[in-house]
Amino acid sequence: MKNNDPIGIDGGPVNSGCRQRTARRWLTLALTIAAGSLPGCGDLADDLETVKSALTTTRTLNFGTVQRALKRDCGQRCTQFTVVGGSLHGIQCQQWVPDCSVPGPLATLHANAAAAASNSIFPAYNEGPSWQYSGCGPQAAQNVLNYYGIQMPIAEVEQYIPTFALVAGSHDQNIASFPDDLADGLQRLFNEMVAPGRFIVSRRSGVVIGNELDKAMRNGNPLIMLVNNGTHYQVATGADLTRAYVVDYAGNDQWRSQSDLGMDLPWYSDLFSTVSFGAGGYEDDTVITIDSHNYPHGFLIQSDRDSTLAVNAWGGAAEGRVLRLHDGCSTANRDCTWSYRGGMIVSDSDPSLAINAVGGALEGTVLGLTRACRPDNPDCTWTYKNGEFLSDRNTALAINAGGGAQFGTTLVLAGACTASNPDCTWTIPHVALSSGRDPTLAINPSNGAAEGTSLKLSSACAVGNPDCTWTFWRGMIVSDRNAGLAVNAWGGAANGVALKLTSLCTSANPDCTWTWTRGQLVSDRSPLPINAFGGAVDGAPLLLNSACTPTNPDCLFAGTSAGH
């Protein structure tokens, strides 16, 4: 086995967790030698609990309401060494000792600590008798979602992952998905089912698979790989120096040699008649990575009758809990903060809980929380228009503070609501609007909030930056930097019109008011959604686009708070 560690340690076991490091480690290694010991490739992250033993280390991973476990072999640390010839290239270790702060070669993901103790590596999701073959792309997405605590039927997952026949005329088998489509669909699923901005999904090609496996496992995330010469996807939930533990269909979990994964596509264009090499991300050595980030808290929903009252999961967010108004809410209390994604209003305390018209949207229906919500259930989705939250089941019904907004008032649906009744209208303060394509991109005035400033997507938005947050009030999207500026369809709402800030907006001007429905921000002047023109990338301008659809992530925006 070749040792690629740049210091070329000779004599003694190789700390295999350090393979394929670069010369950037030289300074660290030199300082470590001066301190009297030589570890391998660095310590584990210290943000999560670590339990040590003589041979392995197990970390508890927190993903919102679900916990998983990462188990790694302990590495080796050199405690006695000699330097021959006065050069770091001449280091010879005389004594190695086990050290659990140094990652070893084997890393595996597990459902919990008990599964880690029994060496039960995280398996493929077993849906049961309702499962049907829908292609390996949707299957990979289903397996990944299950790891993060979302058990979703394959029939629902496949609605997010476009598929096609890999061989022309083969419609009932060989169902394929472009890597880019799989990555985009999985990103939408994370945004809608887990939390917007919490996970970043990326397609990468031309990678060194050993490096990607090591990075993914070390961070506690599964890795999707395009294998078998481009004909199959598998999800890795474990790896060592030469193998990957892969899952696809229930009962088919196995270790595979990394060298036999078949990640190169040498004869791709000759084998398949419906795609060509490079199309949609079909390239050599392609993986789809999942990176998790700090969980963002959402926004308050404040009563326009009394802004000290906000929507609260009364008694704490749990299945069946009723929504009421509370005067003690703040963004630090996740029972009072919410995210809007895919039309659902989702609890921050438990992102699997969404606001639901309990028993169906009818006059007087009480609003509560349930885990049974999906974006295609109109009893669970809401359109925000002119300050009202309208039921997507029946848009004549709006969320109302039943009997008048005061402490403890229960939220119900009412047909008598109007946009002029403050018991039926709500302000959403300090919202960060992130792209449905890439949650790291947020709506931002390109040179700071000022009259006539164009709106673009920016990757530079930071927590607490008022140029990146907005307050929704009576249909207007108002700058948090300057409350006198609101988002406007510049020159009048029409296809291709740019979005800019102006001080001339009022809630009576439909070029300045917007409806937020199923993730789309639509002009009230004309049914034209906001679009990241040319695709959601850093600096993409925001325009109105008649070609937008609810399935195009360049036309979708999720809402969280940004630290206010």
Consecutive 10-residue averages of pLDDT for the chain (564 residues): 28 31 30 33 34 66 86 80 64 75 82 95 96 95 95 94 69 74 90 74 90 89 95 96 96 96 71 56 91 72 97 94 96 89 84 90 97 88 96 97 97 97 96 85 93 94 87 95 97 96 97 94 96 92 95 86 50
Query: Rounded to an integer, what distance in angstroms lies between the CA atom of residue 239 and that of residue 216?
Result: 10
Chain position carrying tokens 């309208």? 390
Residue type, 527: P
297: closest CA among 368, 344, 346?
Answer: 346
| DSSP reduced 3-state for 220 | coil
3-class DSSP string for 281-320: HCCCCCEEEEEECCCCCCECCEECCCCCCEEEECCCCCCC
Query: Rounded to an integer, what distance in angstroms lies between the CA atom of residue 121 and that of residue 57?
Result: 15
| Residue 200 parent element (H or E) | strand 199-204
Residue 342, phi-psi category: left (phi > 0), alpha (psi -120 to 50), beta (remainder): left
Q: Which residues pair with 204 in a beta bridge?
A: 287
φ, ψ at 544 (rounded to 5°)? -85, 135
* H-assigned helices in 170-274: 179-189, 209-218, 268-271
Interstrand relation of 455-458 and 470-473 (parallel, antiparallel or unpaired): unpaired
Query: Rounded to an integer, what distance in angstroms lies between the CA atom of residue 77 and that of residue 74?
Result: 10
Taking the CB of residue 307, how many other CB atoms lie within 10 A of it? 13
| DSSP reduced 3-state for 193 | helix
**Which part of the chain has CATH 2.80.10.50?**
296-424, 429-564
DSSP 87: S
Query: Rounded to an integer, what distance in angstroms lies between the CA atom of residue 148 and that of residue 221?
Result: 9
Which fold would CATH assign to domain 296-424? Trefoil (Acidic Fibroblast Growth Factor, subunit A) (2.80.10)
| Pair of tokens at residue 355 | 């606001």
Taking the CB of residue 269, how many other CB atoms lie within 10 A of it? 14
DSSP string, 167-189: STT--SSSEE--HHHHHHHHHHH
Whole-structure pTM value: 0.61
For residue 103, what pLDDT is reported?
64
DSSP E strand boundaries for 321-360: 323-326, 338-341, 344-347, 354-357
| DSSP reduced 3-state for 330 | coil
Maximum Cα interatomic distance, the chain, rounded to a whole number of Å: 88
For residue 12, what pLDDT is reported?
29
For residue 9, what pLDDT is reported?
24
CATH superfamily of 136-292: Cysteine proteinases (3.90.70.10)
Chain position carrying tokens 């398949």? 272
For residue 46, what pLDDT is reported?
33
Tell me the CATH number of domain 429-564, given options 2.80.10.50, 2.40.10.10, 1.10.3720.10, 3.40.228.10.
Answer: 2.80.10.50
**Which part of the chain has CATH 3.90.70.10?**
136-292
Neighbouring residues of 345: CB distance < 8 A, sequence distance ≥ 6? 301, 338, 339, 354, 355, 382, 389
| Pair of tokens at residue 25 | 């480690």
